A = this chain, B = another copy of it.
Amino acid sequence: MRPIAERFKALSDPNRLRILMMLKTKPLCVCEISAILRLANSTVSKHLSILRQAGFIVDEKDGRWVNNRLATAQESPEAISLLPQISTWLGDENLIQSDQTKLVTIDRVTICQVD
């Protein structure tokens, strides 16, 4: 019961839904997501840990970067089974589409400099 409620709670925040939709396009690091959502890195890191705990995403360390990607159906069948539905519901939204276009041109190294 608890784990299932947890799963839905992970999906109950608009910023976390945006993150999932972005990860459908490609794996991303914390600072790329921060740049698009305009949230502090620490906030994004927390959102990612909630999504990870609920089985939606997996992190893969690559040097000092951490790539976050969607879990596969093998890794987390229950969580992943919800994604097509979510995509259908959110695909039309302006905000989601605007996130997608930002994703295409984003450059990790440029974006993530503290400056």
Q: Report, as a range, how many residues of chain A touch the other chain.
A: 20 to 34
Identify the stretch in A22-30, A61-69, A90-98 within 8 Å (CB) of chain B at 4 or more residues.
A90-98
Q: Is the interface of A mostly helix, strand, loop or mixed?
A: helix
A11 at the interface (CB under 8 A from B): yes
Q: A residues 38-83 with Cβ under 8 Å of B?
A: 78, 81-82
Query: Complex Cα distance A11/B10, Å?
Result: 10
- Whether, in the assembled complex, A1 has its beta carbon less than 8 Å from a beta carbon of chain B, the answer is yes
Residues A1-29 near B (CB distance < 8 A): 1-2, 4-6, 8-9, 11-14, 17-18
CA distance A11 to B11 in the complex (A): 10
**Are A13 and B17 in contact (CB-based, < 8 A)?**
no
What 4 pairs across the A-B complex have the smallest Cβ distances?
A: A9-B12, A8-B11, A8-B12, A8-B8
